[in-house]
Amino acid sequence: MILARVTGTLVATQKNPKLEGAKLLLVQPLTLEDTPRGPELLAVDGVGAGVHEKVLIVLEGRAASDAIDRKAAPVDAAIVGIVDRVDFG
Amino acid sequence: MQLGRVVGHVVLSLKNDTLDGVTLLLVQPLSSLREPVGRVVVAADSVGSGTGEEVFFVRGKEASFPFHPTEVPADAGIVGIVDHWHIG
């Protein structure tokens, strides 16, 4: 799993039926220092996250599919938590 | 998933049987500012997208799920056509 910041929302009318009703959010993966790391991703939202929130993302198909309670949905990233804080050591 | 733009398609004459009827498109991954990010990938299309359209695609085994029960040997698949996105 990775930490990321929600940066935006996306609307798509024509999509795979398994994604019907799923909320799609643009997220920017972060380093532990909160700086951007790598390209932005599109994740399905399993927790009701909003723009600017720091979130926990699972990057694996089965887990992402489970996060939105749909079997065999063609997704590879899902938001599974909203981060309150990260403690070191 | 990642944002991308369809920039072309691939035609195969000799192919795995399970790829019969599957449209293979070239997709340039994009940032949310519409800048190209990384290299172009070949993706299986299951939503009827075409050249020039902005789409989102999934990577990995999940790319074959839209074709269930056929086990399509794809590692990238277009799963939606983007209407618009909004950066907060």
Position B85 in a domain: no
Q: Mention the CATH class of domain A2-67+78-82.
A: mainly beta
Between CA B27 and CA B57 the distance in angstroms is 9
Indicate yes or no: CB of A7 within 8 angstroms of CB of B58.
no
β-strands B54-59, B2-10: how paired?
antiparallel
Q: Nearest by CB to A74, from B48, B58, B88: name it.
A: B58
CATH number of the domain within which B35 lies: 2.40.50.220
Query: Whole domain around residue B35: which residue ranges?
Result: 2-13+21-72
pLDDT of residue B16: 85
So what's the ipTM on this one? 0.91
Which of B:23-82 have CB within 8 Å of A? 29, 31-32, 37-38, 46-49, 56, 58-63, 65-66, 68, 77, 79-82
Position B35 in a domain: yes
The 10s digit of each residue's pLDDT in B35-71 is: 999 999 999 999 999 999 999 999 999 999 999 999 9
Q: Which of A10, A43, A19 has the alpha carbon at shortest distance from A29?
A: A43
Position B58 in a domain: yes
Q: Nearest by CB to A74, from B48, B63, B83: name it.
A: B63
Residue A3's beta-bridge partner residues?
A: A56
pTM, full prediction? 0.94
The domain tally of chain B equals 1
pLDDT of residue B88: 85
Position B34 in a domain: yes
The 10s digit of each residue's pLDDT in B14-42 is: 888 888 889 999 999 999 999 999 999 99
The 10s digit of each residue's pLDDT in A28-52 is: 999 999 999 999 999 999 999 999 9
Between CA B55 and CA B87 the distance in angstroms is 16
